[in-house]
Amino acid sequence: MGERGFIVGSQLHTSLQQALLGWYYQHKRNLPWRGETEAYRILLSEVLLQQTRVEQAIPYYHRFLAVFPSLAALAQAELEAVLRVWQGAGYYARARHLHRLAQTVSELPSTYSALLELPGLGPYTAAAVASIAFGEPVAAVDGNVRRMLSRWMAWEAPSPKQLQAKADELLAPEAPGDWNQAMMELGATVCLPQTPRCERCPVAWFCRGKAEPGRYPTPKKRVQTPVEAVALVWVGPDGLYLERREGRLLGGLWGVPVEEGAGALERLLQRLGLERAERVGTVQHAFTHRKLRVQVYRVPGNGLGDAGNRPLSRLDRKILELAQADLLPCG
């Protein structure tokens, strides 16, 4: 009986693999990194897609490769130059990790275990690169795959270990790269978070949760801590005053002076040796776990500031746009 069950299970998995891969080959989107065999380009695309939608990632992919066409070119660059090219893509730790990775190895290793040792590469990215670039049979589990597997198995709160085990079990070993991309493609275009298109799904017959897809998995609650801050725009004798950012979120970028909490404006004025500033408005900006409400001030009598070639975060561009707009003539 056990042997019979195994055979039936194997046939079911084969049917699933054939159906999904057949759909993928026919319906996959024409993306610039599809069909790539160079590991560096595959890595770049996967790093961009970690926190960026496909349509936003495409121009950054082209832009980054135009300046840093190889791992060696990236290794030779200054971090500030890398961040300048990455500017606007957000989640700048990705760019810092890529740069550090390039300075760590002259070429990408070909195995999942070795890739996992590199800076900034977690299990998903290492599995994606290992399978797509090198054909290693290892399943890549991202948010899309987590959602799909949870629906297929009717799991409300599966553990990462449970998901990885199921993904490994279902993997098409003869085409691991195509399989992983097919899974991600189905999750991105059909098995959507809010309005899944079950009628278009080539493997709906395999899905135990299709009657209530919104139930699987249980949505994670994202809590954003509200933070009050003050920013000061000052054009001094040497031009727009900027400071190099520190920390995990914006480290390596430049921006206007910012302080958080009570007495922030007074601390800024004291730190910069200034006497007063005028308020020009408020900017709001959300990070993954923090929601900033920034009161923007400008030193009176200043003209428009120029950030030059300094890499700025989206938050700082918002601040500068507000401060500059306040100085522009009306009409």
C-alpha closest to that of 145 among 171, 113, 120, 126: 171
**DSSP per-residue letters across 208-242:** TTTTSGGGSSPPPPPP-EEEEEEEEE-EETTEE--
* DSSP run (H or E) holding 296: strand 290-298
Cα–Cα distances (Å) from 182 to 34, 101, 118, 140, 319, in that order, read 11, 27, 26, 11, 41
Of 3, 38, 46, 107, which is the active-site residue? 46
Is-catalytic flag, 174?
no
Cα 117 off chain centre by:
20
For residues 260 and 286, is the Cβ–Cβ distance under 8 A?
no
Q: Provide the residue type at 7 as one letter.
A: I
By annotation, the residues acting in catalysis are: 46
